[in-house]
Structure 1
Amino acid sequence: MSTPLSELPIRRLTKDDLVSCSNLSEDRGWPREEHKWGLLLTAGTGYGIDDPAGKGLVTACVVTPYGSGLAAIGMMLVAERFSRQGIGRRLMKHVLEEAGDTPLTLHATPYGQPLYKELGFADIGRAEMVRGCLRAPEADTSTTVTTRPATAEDLQAVLRLDAEAFGLDRTHMITRLPAFADHFRVAEEDGVLTGYAAAWPNMETHVVGPLIARDTETAKALISSLSAETDRPLRTDIDVRHEELIAWVKEHGLETIAFNAVMTHGIPDLPGDWTRRFAPLSVAVG
């Protein structure tokens, strides 16, 4: 007799589950994203339920902690053959129990949003996913934003800048960027860093994230400089409040492909300074 779904054990995932997690992504019609899964399973805590028939994972998600101030939930997936049977809700309830008093955040697709609302998450914003090849902007003599490749000597300044904009210490994520990303650039003025951005490989695209900048002109300069270093299309998820930047990337070749709701649990809004936080490292980790 088969074990009821409600009794299947929930276990911690490790990097040894990389292929199984990628298979689960593929099962739901998502890209395999093995590079991203590798980061998530080493920097965060993965949870999953195994198929008792030995056919991989029934469901999985990853929680990326930022101390006791916040944790991000990402890659919440349920195998197609087990969809609409309550297994995703069970895993999410387990994650909420494990989190205790730690506030949570996630980016929700329209499909997943109703479940998260049932579990007490609230909408606090939206992110617009854009994709395409950036057409080189015409030279703008009114701005003099300087960007360059990041060096090891920039790391402490990048961490300080990131903590101000993100509102919490995410050293364990940012210090992984030089190895995780193909391109990592900073903007500076008079020797002071005013922004930074990375572009990391995801299937046929380069994802721009994080994108932290003093202002919109700095964000534009960072995106332009990253685009100049790759032949791949760019993809990024921009906070919809950054209307000027969204309009600019669309004017230069990127197109909207999706909207995700930004949601929180146990906290009315995200910490930090959203005016300098243009795009997350990934929607899976904030």
Structure 2
Amino acid sequence: MSKSDFILRPLKLIDISAAMTLSTAEGWNQTENDWALLIKGSEGACVLAEHDSKVIGTTTAINYSHQLAWIGMVLVDKAYRGQGVSKALLDHVFKNTSEISIKLDATPAGQQVYQQFGFKDEYLIDRMVHVLLTNSASFDNSGIETEPVKPENIKEIVAFDAAVFGTKREHLITSLVKEYPDKAWIVRHKNRVTGFVLGRGGSKYHHVGPVSASTMEVAQALLAKSLEGLVQKPVVVDVLQDKQALIASLKSMGFTKQRHFVRMYKGENHFPGIAEHSYCICGPEFG
């Protein structure tokens, strides 16, 4: 198959079933809700490759505040690999997002590919998984109280997240709070949010994250509260590798490291955020 044998076109909501087929074949954790969130938040930048009316590849590019495009879901059907599909998809996305910054979380194999596109490494993230969480008692929350997120808290959470992540993710944060309210918790001090945790369902695991907090103690309290509701369920948490105390606590609960991701940026890193206060990410497809 040559490049002329497949076409590229925008990835739309009507393509979610075909996109799910690709992600499920790879054993990834995304749901139809995740795909919808990515497509709705991309402002038309998500793209797919099609051959004989069959979807053979995808790439998403969720748009954060017209400042940052977050690349994810780079998938190609196994039968069509090695034929330039992923390069065509990425070239297309990079061209359509060339006026804003671009970042992503790459697998080790993907890291080498993205380096060829001029991406640079920022930091590492460990994917920690538990196939059946048995307890959530390994965190010392030091008496820190958590509260369920209320609709009126969303604006402050978006602002807190923007400082930590580097730019506003209002659509993402609002959607997660509304779709998964039972997984959304905050810590407040002197009537101000000092940390939050969100989460979502998955096709294989419940995903916990993002977790952003002013201190490690606040992060631990939030993670403990989130995991409390996931006992006897499969769980995945993507933790920044420099948060070794958090990783050690997860390991003591039976979590194991499945793989790592490399956060990367193209060109200049205009939106570094405050990695010190970032403990767990929302997942490599969302950042």
The TM-score with structure 1 as length reference comes to 0.91
Structure 1 residue 9 displacement after superposition: 2.6
Distance 1:155 1:34 in 2: 24
| Cα shift at 1:39 | 1.6
In the other structure, the counterpart of 1:150 is 149
Report the counterpart of residue 15 of structure 1 in structure 2. Answer: 13
- Tell me how far apart the structure 1 counterparts of residues 150 and 66 of structure 2 sit (CA, whole Å): 30
Deviation of residue 113 (structure 1)?
2.0
In 2, are the aligned partners of 1:21 and 1:60 still within 8 Å (CA)? yes
Instruction: Give the match for residue 259 of structure 1.
Output: 260
For the pair 1:91 / 2:89, whether they are aligned, the reply is yes
Change (3 A) 1:85 1:50: same
Cα RMSD (Å): 2.0
The change in CA–CA distance for 1:135 and 1:223 in structure 2 (over 3 A counts) is: same
Residue 32 to residue 148, structure 1, CA distance change in 2 (3 Å): closer
Please state how far the C-alpha of 1:24 moved relative to its aligned partner.
1.4
Q: Write the letter of the residue equivalent to 1:147.
A: T
Structure 2: runs of 5+ lacking an equivalent: none
Q: Which amino acid aligns with 1:252?
A: M
Deviation, 1:198, is: 1.2
Alignment of 1:101-116 (within 5 A): 101-116=99-114
Q: Which residue of 1 aligns with 2:179?
A: 180
What SS does the corresponding residue of 2:100 show, helix, strand or coil? coil
Q: Is the 8 A contact 1:135 1:252 kept in 2?
A: yes
Matching of residues 25-174 of structure 1 within 5 Å: 25-31=23-29, 33-44=31-42, 45-52=45-52, 54=53, 56-132=54-130, 133=133, 135-137=135-137, 140=140, 143-174=142-173
Match of 2:241 in 1: 240
Distance 1:58 1:210, change over 3 A: same
SS at match of 1:35: helix
Aligned residue for 1:223, secondary structure, equals: helix
8 Å Cα contact 2:49/2:56 also seen in 1: yes
Where structure 1 has 5 or more consecutive residues not aligned to the other structure, the ranges are: none
Query: What's the offset of the Cα at 1:139?
Result: 7.8
Shift >6 Å, 4+ stretches:
none
| Partner in structure 2 of residue 191 of structure 1 | 191
Question: Contact 1:145 / 1:189 at 8 angstroms: preserved in 2?
Answer: no
TM-score by length of 2: 0.91
Q: Equivalent residue of 1:135, what SS?
A: coil
Which moved further from structure 2: 6-15 or 146-155? 6-15
CA shift in 2, pair 1:117/1:216, >3 Å: same
What is the DSSP-based 3-state SS (H/G/I as helix, E as strand, rest coil) of the residue aligned with 1:202? coil
Q: 1:237 to 1:103 in 2, by over 3 A?
A: same
Q: 1:204 Cα shift?
A: 3.7
**Alpha-carbon separation, structure 2, partners of 1:138 and 1:91:** 43
Task: Tell me by how many angstroms 1:37 deviates.
Answer: 1.4
SS of corresponding position for 2:260: strand
Equivalent-residue separation in structure 2 for 1:258 and 1:202 (angstroms): 18
Distance in 1 between the 2:91 and 2:169 partners? 25
Judged with a 3 Å threshold, the aligned counterparts in structure 2 of structure 1 residues 28 and 206 are, in CA distance, closer, same or farther, namely closer
The amino acid across from 1:240 in the alignment is Q
Deviations 1:262-281 (A, max 9, x none): 11102247421111111222
Distance 2:149 2:186 in 1: 6
Q: Matched residues in 2 for 1:195 and 1:134: separation?
A: 25
Residue of structure 1 in register with 2:225 after alignment = 225
- Alignment deviations for residues 96-124 of structure 1 (CA, whole Å, 9 cap, x no partner): 11111311111111222222111111122
